[in-house]
Amino acid sequence: MTDRHRFATNLSEHGYQLLVNAIVDYAIYMINLDGHISSWNAGAERIKGYRAEEILGEPFSRFFSEEDRDQGLPQRSLQIALNEGRHQGEGWRIRKDGTRFWALAVLDAVYDESGQIIGFAKITRDLSDERRTHHALVDSERQFRLLVDGVSDYAIYLLDPEGFIVSWNNGAQRIKGYQAEDIIGAHFSRFYTEEDRRHQLPQHALRSALDNRRYEAEGWRVRRDGERFWASVVIDAIHDEEGRHVGFAKVTRDITERVETQQRLDEAREQLFQAQKMEALGQFTGGLAHDFNNLLTVILGATDLALRLSGDARLNKLLENTRQAALRGGDITRQLLSFARRKPLETHRVELGELLENSAPLLQQSLRSDIRLLLYIGENLHPLQIDPAELELALLNLVINARDAIEEAGEIHLRAENVLLEERHDGLCGDFVALSVRDTGRGMPAEVRSRVFEPFFTTKTFGKGTGLGLAQVHGFAQQSRGAVDVRSEPAQGTCFTLYLPALEDGAALQPQVPRILLVEDDEVLADVTASMLETMGYRVESVGDADQALQRLLRSSGYRLLLSDVIMPGRTNGLELANKVRERLPELPILLTSGYSEIVIDGHSAYPLLPKPFSYDGLAQAVQRLLGPAD
């Protein structure tokens, strides 16, 4: 039995030795009581770099760094293991080649069968790779934290699965206004508006992010001080390595400025579109008025001549009716020309407060008895340089338009006040007088509001309006170097505001100097005009274009007046002809006539102008102002 026990013991010790030597990931060796190495396994050789014959009998302190040896760390670890039976620690160790590695070391006291300590068992593991990985992860997390905290244009923070805030970066603090200690632990729904919370938009956002792994949206959010801002929001669901949902990552950007810029750009594009549309309409209506004025001038001239020659009372009555119809047609063309900015204004210095007070009774008479006109005149209104008759007509058109918008009893507020514009209305800038007409009527939808200034556009029933009233207002405002603005919503009433430029320094501008010229390419109109002038006692010669007129004027000095149409075929128009004649014959009076004239600049004309259609008396007065009565 003794031999059998000794054999079993030897076999067990041999098997244990084989096991220890087979381990290569751990350095396992024995240390005697004085700290010298007494055994060495294959793992120790791989990790430390020493073969057994090189290291057995050497002190184990050789594996420690010089700093650790100076501090007595090897002896201290042996003392702790001796006193407590075990010592464990991590630190730098040295290989045979002098390189360092990070080691996890366990030192256990070893006792014999009688309980006497006979040495120490040392197990060392090389954790260099794990330590590098750990430190790389720590550095990555630190760099990521620095990155997230360094972002100031985005609010980046984490939510738990229920939507409560668990982290907060500097961007979130800047955009939302909360310090981290004030907001961590609160629910992210506090950033939403009251309306969105009532509609459970925060909960919907989290559900959508969880179902689709991502949620994106834009909308109003609320800062700590209650101010709203337009936000771009992204919410991502976060899952751990095992796929469990652990929370949400939320990124918010304040894009209020971008949205406002886009809105201003859209408004500018819309204004440009409207301006181009109105300009195109103006060119069309101006051309239409020009041709129509030629026809009306023929009708008026021929009618006036017929009235002078006819002795038949019945025929004269018919002719007078024809004349009145032509005059009414002239009123229509004047409104079209006003819209097209082709009708010259007769501007004067105007005190607006006085004009409004004088016009108020007439405006009130145009209203029903159940509508009140309330007049508000601001203090020290700027004087204006405008055409008072056209302003009164514009006011009348606005008031009538307001009256027709009020279905039952209501009020119309007419207000005048000084304003300082900073390029907010059609590029206007400086001192203006704002003249507004606000009603309590039914208001207008956007599609109607965008077309109210178009000629012949009306929402009234057939026969209730021509669609030219607001067109005249628009044309008057533009030609007066101002603008007109309309604000209206359904059931909220409408407000039209005229912006008229203040007269600089309160002084009147130079009055228009009448200078006019004549040549006519329309043969019928030329014959009628010549007949009217001959009836007045003048001798008339007619030519059809500017080149013929210039040649005839230069060949003969007997002409006392040049009367010319402005728009004519050929290379030279009436205005250019007038300029050439003025250079060569400065003493010759010039009278221009046109139904479509572009000689008006800032309310001034270079030459006297007789608008078409003109009557016999109108022509006679214009000629007599330049030449006096015919002999």
pLDDT at 508 > cutoff 50? no
Task: Check: CB of residue 401 under 8 Å from CB of residue 394.
Answer: no
Residue 417 to residue 375: CA distance in whole angstroms = 11
Look at residue 51 in the predicted model and tell me its pLDDT. Answer: 92
More confident of the two residues 20 and 305: 305
Q: What is the CA radius of gyration of the chain?
A: 50
Average pLDDT over residues 20-26: 74
Tokens standing for residue 454: 């178009």
Q: Region 391-419: what's the mean pLDDT?
A: 88
Helices (H), 127-251: 128-150, 170-176, 180-183, 194-198, 201-212
Average the pLDDT over 198-221 and give the result.
Answer: 91
pLDDT of residue 257 exceeding 90, the answer is: no
pLDDT, mean of residues 532-547: 82
- Specify the length of the chain in residues: 631
Q: Which amino acid is at 441?
A: G
Distance CA 94, CA 68 (A): 11
Model pLDDT, residue 215:
92
| Residue whose tokens read 């020659």 | 309
How confident is the model at residue 7, as a pLDDT?
A: 46
**Range with the poorest average pLDDT among 329-338, 526-535, 555-564:** 329-338
- Gap between the Cα atoms of 336 and 314, Å rounded: 34
Answer whether residue 80 shows pLDDT above 50. Answer: yes
pLDDT tens profile 283-293: 555 555 566 66
Q: Distances from the Cα of 485 to the Cαs of 22, 403, 425, 450, 499, in angstroms?
A: 95, 18, 8, 11, 8
Nearest Cα to Cα of residue 110 among 214, 32, 53, 41: 32
pLDDT of 442: 85
pLDDT higher than 90, residue 335:
no
**489: three-class secondary structure by DSSP:** coil
Q: Report the range out of 84-93, 141-150, 336-345, 581-590 with the highest average pLDDT.
A: 84-93
pLDDT for 483: 86
| pTM value > 0.85 | no
d(CA 94, CA 297): 116
CB 490 within 8 A of CB 496: no
Q: For residues 423 and 169, which has the higher predicted lDDT (pLDDT)?
A: 169
Identify the H or E element spanning 605.
none
CB 545 within 8 A of CB 568: yes
Q: Is the peptide bond before 514 cis (omega within 30 degrees of 0)?
A: no
Tell me the three state secondary structure of residue 420.
strand
Check if the beta carbon of residue 118 is closer than 8 Å to that of residue 39: no
